[in-house]
Structure 1
């Protein structure tokens, strides 16, 4: 029962310290913020401590995102945004929403992830990391009370997400993260940072401000006349959300953010290469997270022989696209021509939905050359027997 919980929890946070049990006890008692302060103040942190600091900062970013969602009672309809999709307890008295909060949140995520990456990147190939995660000790201070409350333990959050009832007869498992996993977590931090830059490249603040102001005005008019708009009650939230999304998209993305997203995606693939090189050299088999062909994952997820080689072939194709050496297929083009994603991210176009669908906005990015085939991913999907989405989330 708890093995899938451990899988999802590990995606959110690997963390521990040189004295794993004392750290997880501190996490259970004090939470993430206090633990981060303690780890950051160490004068001579060990490799385990540096890994722990990176992990705490990673999860602290998730915690702060959910705190913001709780503070304003942000609708779960925003689950298309990274980080904000996790379930939270309801806030009985949310504050009035600040339209700039989304931009501010993702700026904070970038800062948090930069701190996590800075700690993780100090871990070298010859460092001996052995970091144990006790899933049952982890909780997110979603309501900001400073104590763990209902709905704030990581097993509760992840169990709800997966649609799984908790089973007290099975204790949450322990996972031992090692030197290789520092590169894996750094890769994940780069990926989340890239998505944060994409959100900020399409700053939604103006669109949110306009939509909320118009919705409030309609509510004011209905209140004055004593009217009730049944269709608004049924569809209004969905229409408002769609208007925010379209209003944010239809602009020129900020080039500094789109270029930063490109850079972090490339660093993500580079860290993945480091991870797989380290994993292949491992000889132990101790509560492994992602194993090599001689190891077993503690998560209960079967990694077929050849997973490392097959996934690295997928990474190679992604790297070629990010370098502009493979083009994206486009519906108006046949073999031999496609879209240069690198060029799009380096100099993004003014976005017009109709022009994007028809293609005129994308003509400047059309080039001739070899296309991304997708063959590597199809072979990977066959290897993992159709579970490619799950494995892609785990392997990053």
Structure 2
């Protein structure tokens, strides 16, 4: 299921063969790895009232956002031990053969990194605007095979087979609805299995889903940018950008205290990272805006389900209604599932509105998340967790507990995180 969910989140990287002229143009450029080239024409069609073109514009802008961000990570040599920039970006683990780190990265400064994050955020918001237009009306269905799309992760202008989503995901067998072929009869040669159908039929409801997804990605970026994280950058991020000239780059291996030079330096850097997780707020309005983004996610999710429940077709749905077929094996969506999700959204909204407080292990009172977003001038992670930093935001009132999310716990069980990502 994890592979399907990763695929679904990236599935806006292609447009169908039977789409409009704008869709055809977008599809061809995406398959060639040139998403940006079809944005102007698609944007013009969207401005002319073509809802399908607005959806296509959202897809193009979204893949452009991720491609640009990946290229920035590559430009500055981003990596973590055993994981490349592409692996970091898409949560795919170690994929050194697909997108190795840049051996000659450019120098990186704190202000440059903020610019990289700002650019990514602006692109995500542009994608949201297009998706919301695409979700206003229209009876279109775009049958999309995201695995055919090429993404230029390293910015070299080349788009070979190693830069397709198919190469990154390796296999789609876990979510495809085509059963494995039976073994061959004795003495017979086994017939090659039919290729899995990796297409998804995207429609107006999915345009709303993608608008919400853009904000899931945007909210943590905005949260970071609302703060000054320069001390953390200087103390730790050479571990992510090891050859880009950060202050501690030349000291990633030093003397030995406990284990060995590299391990001890790594432990020291982790301690430094924890010590510098004390971030002054640079922009209080921006921090309050993160709360607005979070509330927009739940609002868009409700709107998405309104559109889903009104559908009468059943065309390889990204998120199916109770009357449609799920592409995720053994994971049907029932009315009970929908009701549990709606109850979950209600509880989350109460938390975001400060009506339902967040529990803190140290206090009988609850933590008012709304007050934090709207009034704090500093986010000190350690002091918040240990208690004293939480004092200004404690108040009396109902505190979120297992009962607050009882329906979600009962229906989703231990699989709740996958459902949350899938339903958005």
TM-score range, shorter chain: 0.7 to 0.9
Among 147, 151, 154, the residue aligned to 1:140: 151
In structure 1, distance between residues paired with 2:341 and 2:349: 12
Residue 172 of structure 1, CA deviation: 4.9
In structure 2, distance between residues paired with 1:151 and 1:41: 33
In structure 2, distance between residues paired with 1:160 and 1:76: 24
Query: Which runs of structure 2 are paired with 1:222-371 in the superposition (5 Å)?
Result: 231-237=260-266, 239-240=268-269, 243-244=272-273, 246-252=275-281, 254-300=283-329, 302-305=331-334, 306-334=336-364, 337-352=365-380, 355-371=383-399
Residue 190 of structure 1, CA deviation: 1.5
Residue 353 of structure 1, CA deviation: 5.1
Paired residues of 1:99 and 1:205 also in contact (CA < 8 A):
no
Partner of 1:13: 11
Among 229, 243, 248, the residue aligned to 1:215: 248
Residue 102 of structure 1, CA deviation: 3.1
In structure 1, distance between residues paired with 2:128 and 2:166: 25
Partner of 1:108: 119
In structure 1, distance between residues paired with 2:171 and 2:315: 29
Paired residues of 1:66 and 1:84 also in contact (CA < 8 A):
no
Q: Give secondary structure in 1 for the equivalent of 2:400.
A: coil
So what's the TM-score if we normalise by structure 2?
0.80
Paired residues of 2:71 and 2:153 also in contact (CA < 8 A):
yes
Residue 45 of structure 1, CA deviation: 5.5
Residue 283 of structure 1, CA deviation: 0.8
Q: Give secondary structure in 2 for the equivalent of 1:148.
A: coil
In structure 2, distance between residues paired with 1:312 and 1:288: 20
Paired residues of 2:3 and 2:172 also in contact (CA < 8 A):
no
Which runs of 5 or more structure 1 residues have no equivalent in the other structure?
A: none
In structure 2, distance between residues paired with 1:168 and 1:115: 41
What does the per-residue CA deviation read over 1:3-43, in whole Å, with 9 as the maximum and x for residues that have no partner?
86444222123352633566433311242222334422436
Partner of 1:126: 137
Distance 1:40 1:239, change over 3 A: farther
Residue 141 of structure 1, CA deviation: 0.7
Partner of 2:227: 202
| Corresponding residue pairs, total | 385
Distance 1:44 1:254, change over 3 A: closer
Query: Is 1:52 paired with 2:72?
Result: no
What does the per-residue CA deviation read over 1:24-78, in whole Å, with 9 as the maximum and x for residues that have no partner?
3331124222233442243635211100111221122111221122222212359
Distance 1:24 1:376, change over 3 A: farther
Residue 328 of structure 1, CA deviation: 0.6
Q: Give secondary structure in 2 for the equivalent of 1:151.
A: helix
Which runs of 5 or more structure 2 residues have no equivalent in the other structure?
A: 176-191, 239-245
So what's the TM-score if we normalise by structure 1?
0.85
Paired residues of 1:55 and 1:116 also in contact (CA < 8 A):
yes
Q: Give secondary structure in 2 for the equivalent of 1:39.
A: helix
Query: Is 1:33 paired with 2:32?
Result: no
Partner of 1:178: 203
Paired residues of 1:204 and 1:244 also in contact (CA < 8 A):
no
Residue 282 of structure 1, CA deviation: 0.8
Residue 246 of structure 1, CA deviation: 4.0
Residue 242 of structure 1, CA deviation: 5.1
Paired residues of 1:322 and 1:342 also in contact (CA < 8 A):
yes
What does the per-residue CA deviation read over 1:281-334, in whole Å, with 9 as the maximum and x for residues that have no partner?
111111111111110023446234122111111111001111111111111223
